[in-house]
Structure 1
Amino acid sequence: MKHVICALFLSLCSLPLLANPLPAQPHVYVEGSAEIEAEPDVMTFSLSIQALNMDLAKAKADVDQRSRLLIETSKKFGIKTNDIATTALNIRPEYDYRDRERVLTGNLVSRQVDITLRDLKKYPDMMKALVDAKITETINTTLSLSNKQDLENKAQVAAMADAKARAERLAKSQGKALGEPWSISEFNTRGNERWQLVPSRQLMGSSSNKVMMEMRAADSSEPFEPGVIKLTAQVFVVYLVK
């Protein structure tokens, strides 16, 4: 029993050493960061098609008819089939309260359709066509990047270069030479919060935000500037010094 207690005591004493993310020898701990701006080249239209009717069959027929119209309209702009995603129908009864009694007001049938536009030059004309077709009352649009992964990788490499440059400056200021990297991480391991790690990568910019667009009389010549999306990356590197 004494051996078990002793072994447990030694194990507990060694935990801080095992948990320490920094080396025992001289080192420099730096954070490198980088930011890349890119113009979005993909837009996703999200439309919710709904119909409310006491006759369930009529409500479904209305949603189906407008769904077909939406798909046909999209294909006129060169949208491929694999860039059109439709959800299954959602059907539920709708109620209202009258004189403290719940009264059925109809059956709500709905479906969401997401359309990916890969040529932003077609956006004004496509938006006008969708509005003129009166398929739905609202349209959500989201701008994104077709090469997002490549740009994230590029930002990460740039962040690593920034970390090395920072470390070299710090080491040189103390008359030291920079050695090999001891650890490289996307996470900040300096604090006790290391069990709640979240990668320090972000996709920011007004172009990346979802925007609700109210239906209105659309003009194909409406001004449209996609802006830029900022991709940021951070790395945390421990370099040995010599």
Structure 2
Amino acid sequence: MSVNYFAGVWALLSAVALFCANVAATPLPQQPHVYVEGAAELEIEPDMMVFTLSIQTVDLDLAKAKADVDARSRLLIDTVKKFGIKANDIATTALNIRPEYDYKENQRVLTGNHVSRQVDINLRDLKKYPDMMKAMVDAKISETINTQLTLSDKKAAEEKVQTAAINDAKARASRLAKAQGREVGDAWSISEFNNRGNERWELRPNRELMGSSASLKADAMSLQRVAGEPFEPGVMKITAQVYVVYLLK
């Protein structure tokens, strides 16, 4: 067979591949349609607070360091259980143990063993937040307490805002179609991903739950502030975007 024959076959295969790629990269119907973006934003009151505490210590005696972290972990669990926190709302990580060294006279010398554990606690009754925070600070369990407001049922909130975004898309499509003397027909495709932008590579759904978090140092000044700490959970915003192709009648 001649070189020209193989070159012709290769050109044909390349053209077919390019055509298929173009078809796959154009997720739009051939018949009249309208392509719209629907968006929604809802304000929802948070109903749960997540406390994150890092319990850690350093000691040359590894057994002593472990015993200290274990003791403060038990104290933390006993403290929060007084506020009705159930066992399934307390998550503790395994102990993390690592040696720490320093260099003296060009030699590495063990200075202590760092032992730590993280504990996450879900508080579902936000009215108990000020008293529970004060109790944890008073117990001197950890130097830093991180808190984050969130929702106990994020899935339900996502479904609600996505439905609102789809309704917005239908309304937008109807307005555009009416302006051209047409009517909106069936949905040809519905996606969380913007297939006409860079997100088709990143594949990140357009929905987001935005809240707030805080960090507290457990020293004398912060203890005085926590004792009478004002607390208003406010609202969280949850957003969603959908991309819908509707056929036109």
Q: CA deviation at 1:87?
A: 1.2
The answer to whether the 8 Å contact 2:93/2:119 transfers is: yes
Report matched runs for 1:51-70 at 5 Å.
Answer: 51-70=57-76
Distance in structure 2 (CA, Å) of the matches to 1:70 and 1:63: 10
Which residue in the other structure is 1:32 paired with? 38
Distance in structure 2 (CA, Å) of the matches to 1:62 and 1:14: 65
Whether 1:212 and 2:219 are equivalent positions in the alignment is: no
Runs of 5+ consecutive residues of structure 2 not aligned to the other structure: none
Which residue in the other structure is 1:227 paired with? 234
Distance in structure 2 (CA, Å) of the matches to 1:195 and 1:81: 41
Give 1:173's match in structure 2, choosing from 168, 176, 179: 179
Which residue in the other structure is 2:247 paired with? 240
Secondary structure of 2:223 counterpart: coil
Q: CA deviation at 1:10?
A: 2.6
Normalised to the residue count of structure 2, the TM-score between the two structures is 0.89
The share of aligned pairs that are identical, in percent, is 67
Which amino acid is the alignment partner of residue 242 of structure 2?
V
Shift in alpha-carbon separation, 1:191–1:144, aligned structure 2, 3 A: closer
Whether 1:130 and 2:136 are equivalent positions in the alignment is: yes
Secondary structure of 1:20 counterpart: coil
Which amino acid is the alignment partner of residue 213 of structure 1?
L
Report matched runs for 1:40-59 at 5 Å.
Answer: 40-59=46-65
The answer to whether the 8 Å contact 2:97/2:114 transfers is: yes
Which amino acid is the alignment partner of residue 163 of structure 1?
A
Whether 1:105 and 2:108 are equivalent positions in the alignment is: no
Secondary structure of 1:24 counterpart: coil
**What's the CA shift string for 1:160-215, capped at 9, x where partnerless?**
0000100111111111121211111111112365233221111113x3xx422111
Normalised to the residue count of structure 1, the TM-score between the two structures is 0.91
Which stretch has the larger CA shift, 97-106 or 143-152?
A: 97-106
Which residue in the other structure is 2:157 paired with? 151
Distance in structure 1 (CA, Å) of the matches to 2:198 and 2:192: 16
Which residue in the other structure is 2:93 paired with? 87
Secondary structure of 2:196 counterpart: coil
Give 1:15's match in structure 2, choosing from 6, 17, 21: 21
Q: CA deviation at 1:7?
A: 4.6
Distance in structure 1 (CA, Å) of the matches to 2:197 and 2:231: 45
Distance in structure 2 (CA, Å) of the matches to 1:55 and 1:228: 47
**What's the CA shift string for 1:122-162, capped at 9, x where partnerless?**
11001110000011111111111012111110100110000
Which stretch has the larger CA shift, 212-221 or 173-182?
A: 212-221
Which residue in the other structure is 2:206 paired with? 200
Q: When the two structures are aligned, how many residues end up with a matched partner? A: 239
Whether 1:119 and 2:125 are equivalent positions in the alignment is: yes
Whether 1:185 and 2:185 are equivalent positions in the alignment is: no
Which stretch has the larger CA shift, 158-167 or 90-99?
A: 90-99
Secondary structure of 1:21 counterpart: coil
CA RMSD of aligned residues (A): 1.9
**What's the CA shift string for 1:101-139, capped at 9, x where partnerless?**
433221111111111111111110011100000111111
Distance in structure 1 (CA, Å) of the matches to 2:215 and 2:205: 29
Shift in alpha-carbon separation, 1:93–1:186, aligned structure 2, 3 A: same
The answer to whether the 8 Å contact 2:193/2:199 transfers is: no
